[in-house]
Amino acid sequence: MSTTSTCVPASADADCKATQRTEAPLVLLGDEAVARGACDAGITAAYAYPGTPSTEILEYVMAQTGGRGRPIARWCANEKTAYEEAMGVAFAGKRALVAMKHVGLNVAADPFMNSALVSVHGGLVLAVADDPGMHSSQNEQDSRWYADFARIICLEPANQQEAYEMTREAFDLSERFRIPVMIRLVTRLAHSRAVVRVSEPRGENAAKMAPDISSWILLPSNAKRQWRDLLNKQPALSDYTLESAHNRLDLIEAERSFGVITTGIARNYLLENLDDLAIRPSHLHIGAYPLPLDKVRVLADHVKTLLVLEEGYPIVERLLRGIRHGQLLILGKETGEVPAAGELTPDIVRQALGLTSHRGVDLPTLDLPSRPPQLCSGCPHGDSYDALKKALLGFESPVVTSDIGCYTLGALPPYSAIQTCVCMGASVSMATGAAEAGCYPVLAVIGDSTFVHSGVTPLMDAVSANTDMTLIILDNETVAMTGGQPSLLPTSRLAGLILGLGIDPDHFQVISAHRRDTEKNAEIIRREIAHRGLSVIIAVRECIETAKKRKRG
Ligand code: SF4
């Protein structure tokens, strides 16, 4: 068997390619490798909103600052403000990292899409962690589509070392092409550890205002010019990905029937099974987008059947469909060889390759009691739900909309207290809609952090219409679900913010979310339900996990 490898050296811009190793190898999560890569690329600041599986990125940057205050690392009100703050750093000519989970990019989509049109001269890198399999998310959306939508480069690491190196390179690419660059992670990479060898860190950029300020003023006349400019960059972006070592084509001359395309961590699953194949297939691995079309064409011309293995949506597979129509069979998620939903596994890939499953012996069925996720014992949200349920006794069809946080578990027994959880902030706006549709009583339940993230603006709608609803803000004084990051606003300032929006002070209450106050709290909720207008109640008690951590010091 003869093997011809078509591999090209790494980008000439990668600042880490020739630098010496400066310290012993580290063992890092994928998230931490991205953070370390950003720190070593000389970022001035990093911004994020916590969300699994991306939270550890900013936590690692924070740990690097070591009291020096550099780089600046800050949790933000939401992903949009985080992205915009990073844009401000880039506008000043310095480097900034912004991190979020995949659904957070929906919130940041407005600045993200528009930032592709401005002329970025300080590196702007977005690290976004997708969650195929929905371990801790409401959908499986694939951020590579967003990169394609914005017409920018996306780098997709297959391991922690690549996460480190690609992040460093992403800053160089951002400044070279004057665009933001996306690093796309997935849960298995973000949350698993491997050895990472780091390189000589680079210093911060000197501050330098944008050479062409008008490129940042997206008035239609400028935006039209900037859009054409972005379109004109596309051939150069394609040339980069064609030459990038992240897109590696291994053609097996003797094997012309079967080829495989992998993206990101799917490469690992292929490599795990490769030795069991009778004939080694030709293989194109894609780690940098836009697609390296010439390499794809070479592989497509070389084989009769092409299996596409990618974590997330069948993006590459869909883009390829129709190529060499009738002569090339493309297999993947759309044709059923790979499941369309959930994560890939080595065994799924094994079966897609036509190998017998490695699935072990079937265990005898064990009659274990089911253990659905639950609020911690003694959680303040549990006490708030007890009061809420007491207050609603006797109502035939109350509506209780809710949101994203630990308190979403109130949907499950023993509480079964809430009816919706769609996206950040939707509890408030959906309650407004339900009230306007004639439902009564209507309540919305939202956490303090989610309220600051996306609940304030829909509350303004409700204030302006004096909507007949009762909003209950469950203030546990932390962002509990993602590990206890500090709340942006303490209760005292939250109250000022709410009153400042124009809530009638007679229908604004702060209560203690404590078991001993259940009766009293139920009575307050009942009273506010009886008020045919807008009421806001803040139920305050610190998350017991955060309190424990605080006491431990
Ligand atoms: S972490 Fe805190 S807020 Fe979340 S369920 Fe436990 S006690 Fe409640």
pLDDT tens digits, residue range 294-345?
999 999 999 999 999 999 999 999 999 989 989 999 999 999 999 999 999 9
The angle subtended at Cα 473 by Cα 469 and Cα 477, nearest 5°, is: 175
Establish how many alpha carbons lie within 13 A of residue 443's alpha carbon, considering only the half-sphere containing its beta carbon: 29
Q: Is the CB of 476 under 6 A from ligand 1?
A: yes
496-516 burial, b if ≥16 CB within 10 A, otherwise e? Answer: eebeebebeeeebbbbebbee
Q: How far is CA 527 from CA 431, 494, 508, 536, in A?
A: 18, 22, 11, 12
Report the CATH number of the 380-552 domain.
3.40.50.970
Token code pair at residue 176: 């070279």
Neighbours of 213 (CB within 10 A): 11
Q: Is the CB of 58 under 6 A from ligand 1?
A: no
Report the CATH number of the 13-243 domain.
3.40.50.970
Model confidence pLDDT, tens digit, residues 229-277: 999 999 999 999 999 999 999 999 988 999 999 999 999 999 999 999 9
Q: Is the CB of 474 under 6 A from ligand 1?
A: no
- C-alpha closest to that of 170 among 327, 361, 33: 33
Give strand pairing partners of 129.
Answer: 101, 185
Q: Is the CB of 379 under 6 A from ligand 1?
A: yes
Contact yes or no for 205/44 (Cβ under 8 A): yes
Q: Which atom of ligand 1 is nearest to the CA of 381?
A: 8
Q: For the whole model, what pTM was predicted?
A: 0.92
- Cα separation, 334 vs 308, in Å, equals 10
Å from CA of 71 to ligand 1 middle: 31
- C-alpha closest to that of 121 among 44, 38, 207: 207
Å from CA of 379 to ligand 1 middle: 5
Show Cβ contacts of residue 346 under 8 Å, excluding neighbours closer than 6 positions.
268, 269, 272, 273, 358
pLDDT tens by residue, the chain, 553 residues? 333 333 223 333 344 444 445 679 999 999 999 999 999 999 999 999 999 999 999 999 999 987 788 899 999 999 999 999 999 999 999 999 999 999 999 999 999 999 999 999 999 999 999 999 999 999 999 999 999 999 999 999 999 999 999 999 999 999 999 999 999 999 999 999 999 999 999 999 998 988 889 999 999 999 999 999 999 999 999 999 999 999 999 999 988 999 999 999 999 999 999 999 999 999 999 999 999 999 999 999 999 999 999 999 999 999 999 899 899 999 999 999 999 999 999 999 999 999 998 777 777 777 888 777 889 999 999 999 999 999 999 999 999 999 999 999 999 999 999 999 999 999 999 999 999 999 999 999 999 999 999 999 999 999 999 999 999 999 999 999 898 998 888 888 999 999 999 999 999 999 999 999 999 999 999 999 999 999 999 999 999 999 998 888 7
332-370 burial, b if ≥16 CB within 10 A, otherwise e? Answer: bbeeebbeeeebbbebbbbbbbeeeeeeeeeeeeeeeee
- Cα separation, 140 vs 236, in Å, equals 31
Give strand pairing partners of 98.
Answer: 47, 126
**408 secondary structure, DSSP code:** G
Domain boundaries, given as residue ranges, for the chain: 13-243, 248-352, 380-552
Q: How far is CA 122 from CA 153, 180, 240, 341, 523, in A?
A: 16, 9, 19, 38, 56
Same topology between domain 13-243 and domain 380-552: yes
Establish how many alpha carbons lie within 13 A of residue 13's alpha carbon, considering only the half-sphere containing its beta carbon: 18
- C-alpha closest to that of 127 among 195, 80, 186: 186
User: What's domain 248-352's architecture?
Assistant: 3-Layer(aba) Sandwich (3.40)
**Angle (deg, nearest 10), helices 160-177 and 30-40:** 40
Token code pair at residue 395: 């109502």
Q: Is the CB of 406 under 6 A from ligand 1?
A: yes
Q: Is the CB of 381 under 6 A from ligand 1?
A: yes
Ligand 1, atom 3: closest residue by C-alpha = 543
